[in-house]
Amino acid sequence: MLVFPSCFFSIVAKDVDIETARISGGVSLSGIEDSIATDGGGRWYATADNAALHTREKIMAWRAFKSGTGGGIDPFVFPICDARHQPTRGKTKVPHSDGTSFSDDTLYSQGDCEVYVSADAPLRATQIQFSIASLGRPLIGGERFSIDHPTWRHRCYQIGRIIAQDATSATVQFHPPLREAVATGNAVDFNNPRFVARVDGQMSAPMTNPKFASGSVRFVEDMTGSYA
């Protein structure tokens, strides 16, 4: 699947969250209304308004991505690109497995969060246990993480409550429920969480003058379940 270059477009005004659908269960004689969720836990969405496509490269990349996904119909991977609100302090530099660098003495760049699932969790679970190899900052709630599932691929989750935490482990409550069961040892991505998405509506980028364009788009989590 294609990956939307979220950070490349430097979208400042964006909204990424979980939308829910509810129906009223009726109002009691005392005036209390029951609310019933009908969406299985909600789905992710992302909106970007007035993205500044102020270079030729950004305009062409926007157009190419739109065409590469069949006009936005085909599913793709959307990285949230929000490191400021993740438990990371930035990139770290590491060598090859044998301790050597590249020929120009540069090193690999990778995130400073390395976390794994430490106990099997079933489909639709809302609590999970982590084994922490490294974490830039302690978890405080509100962080997002994603898991690359075998069938549903990249799915994103948001931490609501820290149940337990120490330097090497954590147990958290999260939302939405697990899209697919996970096994001990599955990697958890806190560095750059992402989810499979599709375009909801149009992916427009009208020219504001002969050189610049302004992009607007809304993405929603794709639930077709058929991914190459």
Which band of pLDDT confidence, cut at 50, 70 and 90, is reported for residue 37? low
Same domain for 72 and 168, yes or no, is: no
Same domain for 153 and 199, yes or no, is: no
For residue 131, count other CB atoms closer than 10 A to its CB.
16
Host domain of residue 14: 1-25+34-81+195-228
DSSP-derived secondary structure letter, 177: P
According to DSSP H, which parts of 46-132 are helical? 56-68
Is the CB of residue 184 less than 8 Å from the CB of residue 120? yes
Is the CB of residue 139 less than 8 Å from the CB of residue 145? no
What's the predicted TM-score (pTM) here?
0.84
Is the CB of residue 156 less than 8 Å from the CB of residue 177? no
Which band of pLDDT confidence, cut at 50, 70 and 90, is reported for residue 104? very low
What's the pLDDT at 201? 92
Which band of pLDDT confidence, cut at 50, 70 and 90, is reported for residue 107? very low
First to last CA, the chain: 6
Which tens digit of pLDDT belongs to each residue from 117-152? 999 999 999 999 999 999 999 999 999 999 999 999
Same domain for 59 and 147, yes or no, is: no
Residue holding tokens 């993205």? 51
